[in-house]
């Protein structure tokens, strides 16, 4: 007779509780884990690095220094990005510096050209003024050379040397026409006054030059000096002569 089969069922109440996955256990542990301090975090990172190193030996995902290859790739990517940004900024800075240098050169060249043009213009004006002065002096010498023939022109030309306008010449002409008729050898038989301005005595004109008896220019120079010192202007001297019959 066959033996009675006895089942191998577990006793009542002895059934195994459902297994919890490792991920769920880690999550639960994380929830219950207190917040790490900075020092503890540093220590944990050190321990993790060591753990990574051990794990990497089996998986081949670490570098020779024990750093995860993904982290190395990320770091290298960041370094490359920073380097590219630095290069771009350097290129921009270099381009800006080059533009500024070119602008400075252009400004310097423009200023130099303007200075050269101004200098050339000033030189041209100076040469023109010198030419005009030379022409006036040549004319003056011609007039002086002809002074004996035309003393009036000499006297008229010399008015400006004493600060008088050409309008004073009519008074001077009237005065010396009355005194000597513009004759450089005119002599007053009664007083001894001599020359165009009728200097008394004649030797007073020697303060200008020793040729006062033959040079109308010397006589006119002394006469104008005398009028300037005594009356201020030829018209004042002429007014005095008209009132007193002498000056």
pLDDT value of position 62? 55
pLDDT value of position 69? 79
pLDDT value of position 136? 86
* Residue 69 maps to a domain: no
**Its pTM surpasses 0.95:** no
- Nearest CA to 220 out of 188, 173, 178 is that of 173
Rounded distance, CA 69 to CA 56, Å?
Answer: 10
Are 227 and 196 in contact by the 8 Å Cβ rule? The answer is no
Per-residue confidence band for 137, with pLDDT thresholds at 50, 70 and 90: confident
> 172 is in which domain, residue-wise?
151-244
pLDDT value of position 63? 55
- Residue 11: pLDDT over 70: no
Mean pLDDT of 163-167: 97
* Residue 203 maps to a domain: yes
pLDDT value of position 162? 97
pLDDT value of position 31? 40
Residue 154 is classified by DSSP as: H
Rounded distance, CA 162 to CA 42, Å?
Answer: 104
- Residue 140: pLDDT over 80: no
Q: Could you read off the pLDDT of 64-105 as tens digits, one per residue?
A: 556 677 877 888 888 888 899 989 999 999 999 999 999 999
- Residue 159: pLDDT over 80: yes
Q: Does residue 243 or residue 55 have the better pLDDT?
A: 243
- Nearest CA to 237 out of 178, 158, 191 is that of 178
Long-range contact pairs involving 174-179 (C-beta distance under 8 Å, separation at least 24):
174/238, 175/234, 175/237, 175/238, 175/241, 175/247, 176/223, 178/241, 179/241, 179/247
Q: Does residue 213 or residue 40 have the better pLDDT?
A: 213
pLDDT value of position 64? 59
* Residue 157 maps to a domain: yes
Mean pLDDT of 132-156: 88
CA distances from 149 to 140, 142, 215, 216, 224 (A): 14, 12, 11, 9, 19
* Residue 65 maps to a domain: no
Are 153 and 169 in contact by the 8 Å Cβ rule? The answer is no
pLDDT value of position 124? 95
Which two tokens mark 129?
Answer: 């003024």
Phi, psi dihedral angles at 2 (to 5 degrees): -65, 145
Mean pLDDT of 118-122: 94
3-state secondary structure of 84: helix
* Residue 128 maps to a domain: no
pLDDT value of position 37? 42
Q: Could you read off the pLDDT of 35-72 as tens digits, one per residue?
A: 444 444 334 444 444 444 444 444 445 555 566 778 77
pLDDT value of position 194? 98
Summary mean pLDDT of the chain: 81
* Residue 38 maps to a domain: no
* Residue 172 maps to a domain: yes
Per-residue confidence band for 143, with pLDDT thresholds at 50, 70 and 90: confident
Q: Does residue 71 or residue 219 have the better pLDDT?
A: 219
Q: Could you read off the pLDDT of 181-190 as tens digits, one per residue?
A: 999 999 999 9
CB atoms within 10 A of CB 184: 21
Q: How many domains does the chain have?
A: 1
* Residue 57 maps to a domain: no
Are 219 and 205 in contact by the 8 Å Cβ rule? The answer is yes
């Amino acid at each position: 007779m066959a033996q009675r089969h006895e089942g191998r069922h577990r006793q009542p109440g002895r059934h195994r509780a459902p297994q919890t996955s490792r991920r769920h256990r880690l999550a639960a542990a994380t929830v219950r884990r207190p917040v790490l301090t900075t020092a503890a975090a540093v220590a944990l990172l050190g321990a993790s690095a060591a753990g990574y190193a051990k794990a990497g030996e089996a998986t081949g995902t670490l570098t020779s220094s024990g750093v995860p290859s993904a982290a190395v790739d990320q770091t290298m990517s960041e370094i490359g990005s920073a380097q590219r940004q630095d290069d771009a900024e350097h290129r921009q800075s270099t381009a800006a510096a080059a533009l500024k240098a070119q602008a400075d050169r252009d400004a310097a060249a423009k200023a130099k050209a303007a200075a050269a043009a101004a200098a050339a213009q000033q030189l041209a004006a100076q040469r023109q003024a010198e030419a005009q002065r030379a022409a006036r002096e040549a004319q003056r010498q011609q007039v002086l050379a002809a002074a004996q023939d035309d003393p009036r022109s000499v006297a008229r030309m010399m008015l400006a040397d004493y600060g008088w306008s050409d309008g004073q010449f009519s008074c001077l002409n009237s005065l010396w026409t009355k005194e000597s008729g513009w004759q450089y050898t005119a002599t007053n038989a009664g007083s001894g006054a001599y020359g165009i301005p009728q200097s008394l005595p004649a030797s007073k004109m020697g303060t200008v030059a020793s040729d006062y008896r033959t040079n109308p220019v010397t006589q006119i120079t002394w006469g104008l000096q005398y009028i300037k010192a005594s009356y201020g202007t030829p018209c004042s001297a002429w007014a005095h002569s008209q009132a007193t019959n002498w000056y």
